[in-house]
């Protein structure tokens, strides 16, 4: 097909020039090479494409029909090449990111704003989901970059740690507990607990830690939204298991108070993930650079 494409390029040039010599000059090849290309194409298509005359050549009826399609095809190829160059130069394109609403609001917003201001022609799509979901979208090629909490299977991924997260327990300031007391795991497990639903990676991580210490968690309330977790804890419904980094405003304002504990749950990391063996688009590569250059360890 690549050989025939070259023949069509010669055919198009001859059709537009109406002259073998002029076409050869335009293509920077010899007249004999042009003539041979036309002859080869006519043989392969089993039809005569040009009629020769004293002033040059003109298209036959079959040649005129073919020319319309060749001109259109060549135009599309040229447009495709131009669009590809524009994409590489970030003059157009699309970037799709997978991240939870919390990570987007608490971490990604400054990067998104900066990227959008600098590359306004790039269409940015954000697909919301917890770590497990966005990693699945990354593996299936539906997102370019995924932000997830400490991926367990990294064999096919390139990961870059963005920030650490710490699991803590909080309650309303007037909740009937002793905020100066250092609670044990057993004591925490006895509170009316408010936790995220089980498909949340932070919930699974919390449960795993308690199970490793021989305790099962039986939450009073399970929720799908972190904001509701905070709201119900703030009005005294119980003790909430939350990510410290995502409730700093509520802690600083006094809306929530942290319970002291005699244990410390190991920290986790929210990582920027891309597929290891799949080249990034120009837009995705630039966004990855935006994030890396502002973080320690880049």
Q: What pLDDT, in 10s, does the model give residues 64-75?
A: 999 989 988 888
CA distances from 243 to 103, 158, 162 (A): 11, 25, 15
Q: What pLDDT, in 10s, does the model give residues 207-217?
A: 999 999 999 99
Q: Determine what percent of the chain is predicted with pLDDT higher than 90.
A: 64
Residues 52 and 105 both lie in one domain? no
Q: What is the pLDDT of residue 176?
A: 95
Whether pLDDT at 29 is above 60: yes
Residue 258 neighbours by CB distance under 10 Å: 14
How many helices (DSSP H) and strands (DSSP E) are in the chain?
12, 14
Q: What is the pLDDT of residue 3?
A: 53
What total number of domains does the chain contain?
3
Beta-carbon contacts of 188 under 8 Å, excluding residues fewer than 6 positions away, are 169, 239, 259, 261
Last residue of some domain: 88, 119, 144?
88
The better pLDDT of the pair 296, 30 is held by 30
The residue range of the domain holding 282 is: 93-164+269-293
Torsion of CA 284, 287, 292, 294, to 10 degrees: 180
Q: What pLDDT, in 10s, does the model give residues 125-142?
A: 999 998 889 999 998 888
Mean local confidence (pLDDT), 41-47 = 91
Q: Is the pTM of this model over 0.85?
A: no
Residues 202 and 223 both lie in one domain? yes
Residues 105 and 144 both lie in one domain? yes
93-99/167-171 β-pairing:
unpaired
193-196/239-243 β-pairing:
parallel
Mean local confidence (pLDDT), 86-110 = 84
Residues 144 and 282 both lie in one domain? yes
Q: Are 192 and 238 in contact (CB under 8 A)?
A: yes
Structural domain includes residue 237: yes
Mean local confidence (pLDDT), 241-245 = 94
Mean pLDDT of the chain: 89
The better pLDDT of the pair 151, 111 is held by 111
- CATH number of the domain within which 146 lies: 3.40.190.10
Q: What is the pLDDT of residue 200?
A: 85
Element (H, E) at 124: strand 122-128
Q: What is the pLDDT of residue 1?
A: 47
Element (H, E) at 35: helix 31-45
Structural domain includes residue 232: yes
Biggest CA-to-CA distance, the chain: 105
Chain centroid to CA 53: 59
Q: Are 271 and 162 in contact (CB under 8 A)?
A: yes
């Amino acid at each position: 097909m690549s050989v025939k494409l070259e023949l069509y390029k010669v055919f198009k040039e001859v059709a537009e020039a109406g002259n073998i010599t002029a076409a050869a000059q335009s293509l920077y090849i010899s007249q004999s090479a042009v003539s041979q290309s036309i002859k080869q194409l006519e043989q392969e298509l089993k039809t005569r494409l040009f009629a020769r005359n004293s002033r040059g050549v003109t298209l036959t009826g079959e040649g005129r029909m073919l020319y319309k399609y060749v001109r259109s095809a060549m135009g599309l190829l040229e447009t495709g090449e131009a669009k590809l160059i524009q994409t590489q130069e970030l003059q157009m394109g699309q970037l799709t990111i997978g991240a939870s609403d919390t990570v987007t609001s608490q971490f990604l917003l400054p990067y998104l704003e900066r990227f959008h201001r600098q590359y306004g022609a790039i269409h940015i799509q954000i697909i919301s989901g917890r770590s497990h979901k966005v990693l699945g979208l990354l593996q299936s090629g539906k997102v370019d970059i995924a932000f997830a909490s400490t991926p367990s299977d990294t064999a096919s991924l390139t990961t870059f740690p963005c920030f650490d997260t710490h699991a803590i327990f909080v309650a309303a300031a007037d909740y009937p507990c002793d905020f100066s007391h250092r609670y044990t795991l057993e004591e925490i497990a006895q509170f009316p607990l408010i936790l995220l639903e089980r498909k949340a990676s932070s919930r699974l991580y919390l449960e795993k830690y308690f199970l490793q210490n021989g305790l099962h968690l039986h939450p009073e309330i399970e929720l799908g939204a972190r904001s509701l977790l905070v709201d119900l804890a703030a009005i005294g419904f119980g003790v909430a298991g939350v990510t410290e980094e995502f409730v700093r405003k509520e802690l600083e304002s006094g809306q929530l108070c942290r319970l002291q504990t005699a244990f410390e749950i190991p920290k986790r990391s929210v990582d920027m993930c891309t597929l290891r063996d799949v080249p990034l688009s120009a837009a995705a590569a630039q966004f990855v650079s935006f994030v890396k250059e502002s973080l320690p360890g880049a």
